[in-house]
A = this chain, B = another copy of it.
């Protein structure tokens, strides 16, 4: 059985994801599709719209055969670490290929960029450092340095989020001497961060979330045409069961409380907290009425919005520097769900997996997973009080989701 790996967040699963999934399966000639998916908190430093269990169902009902959780300490991270963790899991699970979306759909430009940067590593690093000393954010410094050295995006435009991710996947494969064969398919229409609908059927997850939250407030647009039927149905079910989707504003009270009660030393221990930033966050907590106002208050040219959101997630989850080890490979594979095909693949292949596979939390005692458990419990704090305790405990009780198809 031949497996292709995808690295996803599915927040929520939409038609563009369905397209990418089918194209990847074909490009790899695969029988099995394995997705490594961020858990309840995402790479851009936000709570997922719906829980990882609902997003797992969406994935399985739309063609994924196995869903593994990308652990918190790789998921809520800059592109480089995110890519490292995800690649290590797909590799450990015996995937033959990794297929990612890109602007061009052509691997050549990625390969050229990587070999160019390898040859110019020192110049590149020095240039990034220089830009950052001038107060430019890290992602922008990368793009500017690459542009400066290679001469106007000669191969790849690293200012595009999808290209950055693809580039980091390629780099991780090389650095880990992974067996994964990189493949890329061109993205359809929507740009990663697009906030507006640009086509009849394909829209970015960002624009879909925007429509969903607008709908929550005003009962206006709908997203049916942009998502497969199971996504639409599961989103409606979620809303009915739990009353609302998850948004940073749902966690504002807790973040504000955490910042107000913690000592400076406690905040300094939080992952990614840089000297002096803790005072800025506390001041904003004391003077802001909601999360949006808080973000506007802490924003500076030096730190990207995304970076400050990720830092805020780490404050919320009390994720400390000592919790977020710097290794580039995962220690375990957490199984969130499978189809019959996925199950067959597991039964046949798991003895060759190079990492332990966890399907029942109670059977796994390593402390690395505690951060994932804690993140799930904190995510559950946004559920209404009367069902919160079940949802908090779900993390231990929930067996992997199985969908027969």
Contacts and interface: CB of A to CB of B under 8 A. Distances in A.
Contacts of A287: 389, 393
A186 interface: no
A261 B389 contact: no
A368 B266 CA distance: 18
A118 to B, nearest CB: 41
Interface string A316-352: 1110000000000000000000000000000000000
A381 interface: yes
A262 interface: yes
A24 to B, nearest CB: 38
A357 interface: no
A72 B317 CA distance: 28
Contacts of A253: 253-254, 381, 385
* Interface size, A (range): 20 to 34
A389 B283 CA distance: 11
A392 B294 CA distance: 15
A114 B186 CA distance: 87
A261 B386 contact: no
A372 B355 CA distance: 50
Contacts of A290: 385
A370 to B, nearest CB: 9
Interface string A252-266: 111011101111001
Contacts of A254: 253-254, 257
Contact of A378 (B261, B263, B288): B261
Contacts of A257: 254, 257-258, 378, 381
A381 B377 CA distance: 21
A15 B386 CA distance: 39
Interface in A273-295: 286-290
Contacts of A188: none
B388 A289 contact: yes
Given A253-B254, A254-B253, A261-B258, A286 B378 contact: no
A263 B258 CA distance: 14
A317 B288 CA distance: 20
A374 interface: yes
A388 B388 CA distance: 25
Given A258-B261, A261-B318, A317-B261, A289 B377 contact: no
Contacts of A256: 381, 388
Nearest to A286: B392
Contacts of A266: 266
Nearest to A387: B289
A12 to B, nearest CB: 26
Interface string A235-255: 000000000000000001110
Contacts of A289: 385-386, 388-389
Contacts of A389: 286-289
A262 B370 CA distance: 12
A347 to B, nearest CB: 34
A29 to B, nearest CB: 46
Nearest to A252: B385
Interface string A362-390: 00000000000010011001000110110
A254 B262 CA distance: 13
Contacts of A316: 261
Interface of A: 252-254, 256-258, 260-263, 266, 286-290, 316-318, 374, 377-378, 381, 385-386, 388-389, 392-393
16 contacts: A253-B253, A253-B381, A254-B257, A256-B388, A257-B381, A258-B261, A260-B378, A261-B318, A261-B374, A261-B378, A263-B318, A266-B266, A287-B389, A289-B386, A289-B388, A290-B385
